[in-house]
Structure 1
């Protein structure tokens, strides 16, 4: 039995204002190709299928297309809801979809109802080896604490209650047969490395849950963190298939390929997704960035640029985009800036000698660069026009 662990598709998300639906279609193409190439039996999607609770029509259409193509390639799909999804909407028609090989686990009542799959060549019966796949939907502590009967609405307590229910069901199925287990969960587990593109889960309780809550399961397929990582041999994040923040510029996107037989999990290997565009995080003076051959590789990348000029260059974004057309984020961190650049605006205002100094000081404060002679002249002319019209400043 071969499984492919994915999560955090975030269909419909944009990247600093750039739509990503075409890039997400490209990921689906890669996913279907790998399913066929590697003879994957089951695709796991551990939450955050959509980026928002009310996805657009074209976004829903992309998920529909993905599920049709994956099942058409011979794989079943097990899908849980994440904190970005609407569990009710995502779980619509789940019983009907199960007939087509798509198994949705978005309801609390179904988290301890596994998909049972026979293992080995023996005839299927109640004594043959099997794999049980459980899906824990996203658990918002404040909303589910009463359902689980826990006194404290925390991520730890509700996740412990959920995994306890799964263990109880697993124990009942293991009395007469050898049953291995895979659990999908969308949560922040202790030891995970986060990125800038993930939504904080700490509202409503302590965010991280300890790894020992997943002890005893053959494999735990986690979602939420966008970097692929192994917290232990049995507990892993697949990460998002695409980069959704510049903090992920160094990520190698992919998933995990898991092989299971009668003895349990026999191997876990990484699977890679090709990125549609490179990400570049650039830092330096505007002259160095525009002239150095060292940055030629970033000319066709999405760029985040931090300028270190002592004074903010004029028309910085326009000049940068002449070389790096897809500069999406521009920041300033002046090195060697004059002491005046660190003076608060209120202090600058208190020290102003006249109206022109107030205007020039404001301009310098908001853009990080002193006005030049031409700009000072324009400001002086405007102030004189106001004075002659008898307007009190």
Structure 2
């Protein structure tokens, strides 16, 4: 038979608004969250690039987290609908499973992607599902079987799931497999067992980890597609670039499969991915405020103006922090779209202070509040980053105002 061409994508997160929520300044999207628009533009690129492939693509697999939330807003819904209409209009089959972000808290609410079924996509939520034989509109796919495992499925539900002899068997699953990346499984994550991935699938299309083309098991053809855009600073690319950085690129996986040979996997990189960069750590134990800013300026050399950046300043004293020139800090911030400086104070600050806990720094109060009220998750990390960024902006604005008086 002629090889089947499959596009594997995941973790698109339509509706994501991002750290610090910088806004689009001009053009048709002026006033909207920049990161929300970034993701929508990546999806537009995705649809056009899939249609440009030669030979043509037969099947698109979306391995969960098409949406960032289980109740997406109109812009996200419109972008998803446009993608499916474009693909189905070209005769390309589409299968979507729910990820942990787009799985509703209550089953009665239904999958946010369910409406895409009316546009011709096959949407799988709640339970495992098999798609094959006459489920397909395209006769080229009659020997292809998709074994779908959405995020809400536990190990008991996929215990009996096995490849079918004489078929091209694709596992489509959303969850974490503890592999080579240093990424912990936290409460609420769906865990994919190594046994599941090693059952002899032709290919396993995975979602949940955002590192592009990550293969958790060397002896199984199972891969994470990763996200088109780096979404959090936890996914930031090292700057200057480093070899083997798992977050160095994003894109789609183009997978060619047949019955008799291992799958051929190609990366189609997204060329307009916004740089999200980690500028490393600065040890401030023996540096003055002026020297810290000198080092921050050095770290910013070569950073693209459209980048989102983060840098850690370690072991800074409160006296040195208070001596910073706010106008110079503001000029450093202005070198890119967003610069988040994670100030980490020396432990001796606490022992030297006789003030009650309620008088602690606002940053520490905010971290404690989020930790108390929000479970450890990507959303909790986002809330912390968002709050700290706003506090930093307020401090700089106030200092600039005082300087001008």
* Alignment TM-score, normalising by the size of structure 2: 0.67
Q: Identify if the C-alpha distance between structure 1 residues 367 and 16 changes in structure 2 by more than 3 Å, giving closer, same or farther.
A: closer
1:21-64 deviation line (CA, Å, top 9, x unaligned): 21112211221232122222211100111111111112111111
> Matched residues in 1 for 2:209 and 2:273: separation?
21
CA contact (8 A) 1:54 1:86 kept: no
- Specify the alignment match of 2:133 in structure 1: 116
Q: Contact 1:114–1:133 at 8 Å: present in 2 too?
A: yes
Choose from 230, 234, 245 the match for 2:221.
234
Alignment of 1:28-177 (within 5 A): 28-38=43-53, 39-86=56-103, 88-93=110-115, 96-97=118-119, 100=120, 102-108=121-127, 111-116=128-133, 130-139=143-152, 158-164=154-160, 166-167=161-162, 170-171=163-164, 174=165
Preserved CA contact (<8 Å) 1:303 1:324:
no
CA distances 1:188-232 after superposition (whole Å, capped 9, x unpaired): 113152669xxx65349xx64332212221111111111120123
User: d(CA) in 2 for partners of 1:317 and 1:273?
Assistant: 37
Cα displacement (A) at 1:90: 2.7
Equivalent position of 2:269 in the other structure: 272
CA RMSD of aligned residues (A): 3.5
- The residue aligned with 1:10 is 13
Quick one: structure 1 residues 201 and 69, their matched pair in 2 at CA, closer, same or farther if it must change by over 3 Å? farther
- Whether the aligned pair in 2 keeps the contact of 1:195 and 1:227 (CA below 8 Å) is no
CA 1:327–1:78 in structure 2 vs 1: closer, same or farther (change >3 Å)?
A: same
8 Å Cα contact 1:91-1:107 kept in structure 2 = no
Spell out, residue by residue over 1:346-379, the C-alpha distance to the aligned partner (whole angstroms, 9 max, x if none).
x532xxxxxxxx79xx9997799xxxxxxxxxxx
- Residue 279 of structure 1 and its aligned partner are, at CA, apart by 2.1
Residue 299 of structure 1 and its aligned partner are, at CA, apart by 4.4
Q: Distance in 2 between matches of 1:302 and 1:316?
A: 22
Structure 2: 5+ residue stretches without partners: 22-32, 105-109, 238-246, 283-290, 365-405
Residue in structure 1 matched with residue 321 of structure 2 by the alignment: 312
Distance 2:90 2:115 in 1: 22
> In structure 2, do the counterparts of structure 1 residues 367 and 211 end up closer, same or farther at CA, with 3 Å as the change threshold?
closer
Secondary structure of the residue that 1:63 maps to in structure 2? Answer: helix
Residues 1:364 and 1:258: Cα distance change in structure 2 (over 3 Å)? closer
Q: CA deviation at 1:73?
A: 3.8
In the alignment, is the contact (CA less than 8 A) between 1:7 and 1:48 conserved in 2?
yes
Cα distance, 1:134 vs. partner? 2.3
Higher radius of gyration, 1 or 2: 1
Deviation at 1:160, TM superposition (A): 4.8
The structure in which a higher percent of residues are helix is: 1
2:39 is the counterpart of 1:24:
yes
Between stretches 251-260 and 289-298, larger displacement belongs to: 289-298
Query: Are the counterparts in 2 of residues 280 and 304 from structure 1 also a CA contact under 8 Å?
Result: yes
Q: Displacement, 1:163?
A: 4.8
Q: Measure the CA separation in 2 of the matches of 1:85 and 1:318.
A: 42
1:329 paired with 2:340, answer yes
Using the alignment, how far apart are the partners of 2:117 and 2:15 within structure 1?
25
Q: Deviations over 1:165-209 (max 9, x none)?
A: x32xx54xx4xxx2110011111113152669xxx65349xx643
Alignment map for 1:165-244 (pairs within 5 Å): 166-167=161-162, 170-171=163-164, 174=165, 178-191=166-179, 193=181, 201-203=186-188, 208-214=191-197, 215-228=199-212, 229-231=214-216, 232=218, 233-244=220-231
Task: Tell me: CA distance 1:315–1:56, structure 2 relative to 1, closer, same or farther (3 Å).
Answer: farther
TM-score if structure 1 supplies the norm length?
A: 0.68
- Alignment partner of 1:257: what SS? strand
List runs of 5+ in structure 1 lacking aligned partners. Answer: 141-157, 350-357, 369-393
Determine if contact 2:96/2:124 at 8 Å carries over to the other structure.
yes
1:295 corresponds to: 301
